[in-house]
C-alpha cells in the first residue's frame, strides 16, 4: 500500500516513511492510494478473529486491519506490536472497547479505559510502540515537542514513557489544566518525559511549538517531531474500534443481532475520530449513518448543514465544558473533503491552500453534488450546548444510573436526534467523567467515580519546569536535555 497527499503531489510513500512525518511536503495530509475492501466473507472471518472480545481478540483484529495498510513491517513484528499494545493490563478489560447498552437501540462504546481515561490512548499507545520499533530499526532518535491543554499531552506522555529513542517535551499553560490533568502528567517520573509549564495561555504554548518547528536548522539538529492528530497511524489505529463496535452490536448472542447495519455518533473536534469511521465505511463496513456531534464550536455542524467551511478566529473559539472539542478549525477535515470531491487533489489544494488562507472560508453549498455526496458518505451532524450537556448527563444518570463525561454527553444528545428503527446507534464514549469533575458536580451535585488507580494522584510528587512564554528558553531546555542523554 502506498500513500499520497491530499494536495495532488505525484510522490508516493510507504507507511513507515510517513509514520514519523507530519504534513506532506506540499502541505497536504497523507491518505492511502485506495481503501482496501472488506467483503462479507472477510467480515465473517473477522468476527471469529475478534471472538466476541475474548482475550487477545481485539489485538488480533487490529492486526487484520493494520496489515491491509502496512506492508513495510514484517507480519510477525506487526502482530507482536498489536499484542503488546492492546492488553487487558493496559485497558482493564479483555474486550478493550466493551459495548454497553444505554437505552432502546443506543449503545455506548467504551474507548476510554486506557491509561489517561480518554479515547486518544487507543491510537497513541500504538503510536508509542510503532515509534520505538521504527526508530530502533533506523538507529535514530526523536524528540517530540507538543502543546496541550489536557487530553493529547497526557495520552502522548503515557504512550512514550520509557520508550527507547523517544523524548517528549510537552508544553502546557501554567495553572490552567484541571488538578486531575496536572497530576496525571506531572507525576510521571520517567527520564524521557519533560513537562514544561508556560507562563501564558494555550495559544502561547502552540505559538512556541510553531516557532520551533519553523526553525528548520534547530528542528533538524535536534530531530524534532510531533504526534498531532493528523498523523495517519493514529487515524488507522482508530479504524479498528469501528469494526469492534460493529461486531459487538451485531453479535447474534450478546448484541442486538437483529440488524447487519449500525450507525455511529462521534463527539468531534479535529475530525480525527469520525474520519476513522469514514475510512471504515469506505472499506465496506456497513455503517448507515456517521453522525458528527459538536459543542458550541460548531465549525463541522455548520459545514454539514450548509456546505460552508468557516475557520473561526481565536476570539470566536468558545471555551466550553467539553474542552477537548474546542477547536477553531478541524485539522483532519481535508482528508474527508478529498474523498468527497472525488480525490481531486488540484481542487483540494485550491480550497485549503488558497481559498481558505485568503478568505478564511470556502463554500461547497452551491456545488450541486454537495448535499447528495455528503449524505452518500453517511454523514449527518448536530450540535450540543452547555445546557444540553448538563441536561443529558443528568438524564442519563437518573434514568440509567450511568455517569457519562461531558464530551460523551454531547454525543448522546445528538445521537438521540438520529435514531432509526432497527439500526443500532453506537455512541463513542471519548472520556471518563473523572477528567471533568467540575461539570459533573454541576450536573449531578456529586463527585464522579474515580478509578482506584487514580486514588490520591493529586498528592504525588510533581516533575515540571516552569518557564516564561519564550521560544528561546524552550529551545535552550531542549538542547540541554538532548545533549545530556
Ligand atoms: C480529542 C477529543 C475529542 C475530539 O476528537 P477529534 O478526533 O479531535 O474529533 C472528543 N472527546 C475527547 C474526550 C477528546 O479527548
* Cα 147 from Cα 276, distance rounded (Å): 23
Question: How many Cβ atoms are within 10 Å of 432's Cβ, its own excluded?
Answer: 22
pLDDT band at 403 (very low <50, low <70, confident <90, very high): very high
Instruction: Please name which of 183, 197, 92, 94 lies closest in space to residue 148, comparing C-alpha atoms.
Output: 197
Residue 406 Cβ inside 6 Å of ligand 1? The answer reads no
Question: Which atom of ligand 1 sits closest to the CA of residue 327?
Answer: 8
Residue 267 Cβ inside 6 Å of ligand 1? The answer reads yes
Question: Which atom of ligand 1 sits closest to the CA of residue 267?
Answer: 10
Site to substitute for ligand 1 among 108, 113, 116, 120, most atoms within 8 A of C-beta: 120
- Kind of pairing, strands 166-173 and 142-147? parallel
**Average model confidence (pLDDT) across the chain:** 94
pLDDT band at 256 (very low <50, low <70, confident <90, very high): low
Instruction: Please name which of 143, 341, 136, 121 lies closest in space to residue 224, comparing C-alpha atoms.
Output: 143
Q: Is pLDDT at 457 greater than 80 in this prediction?
A: yes
Is the residue at 23 inside a domain?
no
pLDDT at 485: 47
Residue 270 Cβ inside 6 Å of ligand 1? The answer reads yes
What's the average model confidence in pLDDT over 330-335? 93
Question: Which atom of ligand 1 sits closest to the CA of residue 405?
Answer: 13
pLDDT at 206: 86
* Cα 110 from Cα 117, distance rounded (Å): 10
Q: What is the pLDDT of residues 165-191, one digit of tens each?
A: 999 999 999 988 888 889 999 999 999
Instruction: Please name which of 123, 138, 347 lies closest in space to residue 223, comparing C-alpha atoms.
Output: 138
What's the average model confidence in pLDDT over 114-122? 96
Is the residue at 202 inside a domain?
no
CATH number at residue 369: 3.40.50.1100
Residue 349 Cβ inside 6 Å of ligand 1? The answer reads no
* Cα 132 from Cα 127, distance rounded (Å): 8
Q: What is the pLDDT of residues 47-95, one digit of tens each?
A: 999 999 999 999 999 999 999 999 999 999 999 999 999 999 999 999 9
User: What separation in Å is there between the alpha carbon of 151 and the centre of ligand 1?
Assistant: 8
Residue 325 Cβ inside 6 Å of ligand 1? The answer reads yes
What's the longest Cα–Cα distance across the chain?
Answer: 62
Asked if residues 360 and 329 have their Cβ atoms less than 8 Å apart, the reply is no
Query: What Rg do the C-alpha atoms of the chain give, in angstroms?
Result: 21
What's the average model confidence in pLDDT over 302-318? 91
pLDDT band at 257 (very low <50, low <70, confident <90, very high): low
Residue 272 Cβ inside 6 Å of ligand 1? The answer reads yes
Assign residue 139 a region (left: φ > 0; alpha: ψ between -120 and 50; beta: otherwise). left
Residue 431 Cβ inside 6 Å of ligand 1? The answer reads yes
Site to substitute for ligand 1 among 324, 327, 431, most atoms within 8 A of C-beta: 324
Instruction: Please name which of 347, 332, 355 lies closest in space to residue 30, comparing C-alpha atoms.
Output: 332
Is the residue at 123 inside a domain?
no
Is the residue at 333 inside a domain?
yes
pLDDT band at 2 (very low <50, low <70, confident <90, very high): very high
Is the residue at 383 inside a domain?
yes
Which active-site residues does the annotation give?
Answer: 120
Q: How far is CA 451 from the centre of its chain?
A: 22
Q: Is pLDDT at 450 greater than 70 in this prediction?
A: yes
- Domains of the chain: total: 1
Assign residue 405 a region (left: φ > 0; alpha: ψ between -120 and 50; beta: otherwise). beta
Q: Is pLDDT at 472 greater than 50 in this prediction?
A: yes
Range among 55-64, 207-216, 447-456 with highest mean pLDDT value: 55-64
Is the residue at 221 inside a domain?
no
Q: What is the pLDDT of residues 139-148, one digit of tens each?
A: 999 999 999 8
What's the average model confidence in pLDDT over 393-411? 97
pLDDT at 484: 53
pLDDT at 455: 92
Question: Which atom of ligand 1 sits closest to the CA of residue 272?
Answer: 7
Share of the chain above pLDDT 70, in %: 99
In this structure, the residue with its CA closest to atom 7 of ligand 1 is: 272
In this structure, the residue with its CA closest to atom 8 of ligand 1 is: 270
Question: How many Cβ atoms are within 10 Å of 225's Cβ, its own excluded?
Answer: 22
Sign, CA dihedral 434-177-295-7, equals negative
Is the residue at 417 inside a domain?
yes
* Cα 65 from Cα 237, distance rounded (Å): 9
In this structure, the residue with its CA closest to atom 14 of ligand 1 is: 324
Burial, 207: exposed, middle or buried (Cβ in 10 Å; 0-12, 13-18, 19+)? Answer: middle
- Residue 312: domain span: 99-116+234-444
- Kind of pairing, strands 379-383 and 99-103? unpaired
Residue 294 Cβ inside 6 Å of ligand 1? The answer reads no
Site to substitute for ligand 1 among 113, 265, 269, most atoms within 8 A of C-beta: 269
Is the residue at 382 inside a domain?
yes
Residue 333 Cβ inside 6 Å of ligand 1? The answer reads no
Amino acid at each position: 500500500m502506498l500513500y499520497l497527499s491530499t494536495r495532488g503531489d505525484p510522490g508516493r510513500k510507504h507507511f513507515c516513511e510517513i509514520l514519523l512525518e507530519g504534513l506532506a511536503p506540499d502541505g497536504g495530509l497523507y491518505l492511502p492510494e485506495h481503501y482496501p475492501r472488506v467483503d462479507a466473507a472477510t467480515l465473517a472471518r473477522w468476527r471469529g478473529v475478534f471472538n466476541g472480545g475474548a482475550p487477545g481478540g481485539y489485538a488480533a483484529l487490529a492486526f487484520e486491519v493494520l496489515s491491509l495498510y502496512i506492508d513495510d513491517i514484517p507480519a510477525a513484528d506487526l502482530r507482536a506490536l498489536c499484542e503488546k499494545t492492546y492488553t487487558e493490563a493496559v485497558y482493564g478489560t479483555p474486550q478493550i472497547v466493551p459495548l454497553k447498552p444505554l437505552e432502546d437501540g443506543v449503545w455506548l462504546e467504551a474507548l476510554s479505559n486506557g491509561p489517561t481515561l480518554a479515547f486518544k490512548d487507543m491510537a497513541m499507545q500504538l503510536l508509542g510502540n510503532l515509534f520505538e520499533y521504527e526508530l530502533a530499526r533506523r538507529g535514530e532518535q526523536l524528540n517530540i515537542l507538543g502543546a496541550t491543554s489536557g487530553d493529547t499531552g497526557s495520552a502522548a506522555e503515557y504512550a512514550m514513557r520509557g520508550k527507547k529513542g523517544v523524548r517528549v517535551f510537552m508544553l502546557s499553560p501554567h495553572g490552567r489544566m484541571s488538578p486531575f490533568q496536572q497530576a496525571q502528567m506531572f507525576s510521571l517520573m520517567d527520564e524521557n518525559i519533560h513537562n514544561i509549564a508556560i507562563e501564558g495561555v494555550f495559544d502561547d504554548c502552540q505559538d512556541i511549538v510553531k516557532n520551533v518547528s519553523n526553525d528548520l536548522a534547530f528542528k533538524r539538529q535536534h530531530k524534532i517531531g510531533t504526534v498531532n492528530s493528523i498523523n495517519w497511524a493514529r487515524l488507522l489505529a482508530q479504524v479498528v474500534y469501528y469494526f469492534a463496535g460493529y461486531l459487538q452490536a451485531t453479535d447474534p448472542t450478546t448484541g442486538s443481532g437483529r440488524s447487519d447495519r449500525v450507525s455511529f455518533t462521534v463527539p468531534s473536534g479535529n475530525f480525527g475520530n469520525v474520519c476513522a469511521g469514514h475510512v471504515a465505511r469506505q472499506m465496506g463496513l456497513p455503517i448507515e449513518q456517521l453522525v458528527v456531534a459538536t459543542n458550541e464550536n460548531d465549525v463541522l455542524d455548520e459545514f454539514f448543514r450548509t456546505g460552508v467551511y468557516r475557520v473561526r478566529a481565536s476570539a470566536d473559539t468558545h471555551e466550553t465544558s467539553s474542552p477537548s472539542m474546542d477547536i477553531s478549525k478541524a485539522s483532519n477535515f481535508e482528508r474527508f473533503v478529498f474523498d468527497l470531491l472525488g480525490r481531486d487533489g488540484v481542487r483540494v489544494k485550491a480550497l485549503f491552500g488558497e481559498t481558505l488562507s485568503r478568505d478564511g472560508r470556502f463554500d461547497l453549498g452551491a456545488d450541486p453534488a454537495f448535499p447528495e455526496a455528503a449524505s452518500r458518505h453517511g454523514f449527518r451532524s448536530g450540535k450540543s450546548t452547555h445546557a444540553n450537556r448538563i441536561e443529558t448527563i443528568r438524564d442519563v444518570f437518573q434514568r440509567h444510573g450511568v455517569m457519562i463525561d461531558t464530551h460523551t454527553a454531547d454525543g448522546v444528545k445528538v445521537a438521540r436526534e438520529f435514531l432509526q428503527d432497527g439500526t443500532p446507534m453506537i455512541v463513542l464514549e471519548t472520556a471518563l467523567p473523572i477528567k471533568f469533575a467540575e461539570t459533573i458536580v454541576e450536573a449531578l451535585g456529586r463527585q464522579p467515580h474515580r478509578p482506584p488507580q487514580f486514588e490520591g494522584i493529586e498528592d504525588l510528587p510533581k516533575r515540571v519546569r516552569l518557564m516564561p512564554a519564550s521560544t528561546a528558553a524552550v529551545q535552550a531546555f531542549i538542547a540541554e536535555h538532548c545533549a545530556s542523554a
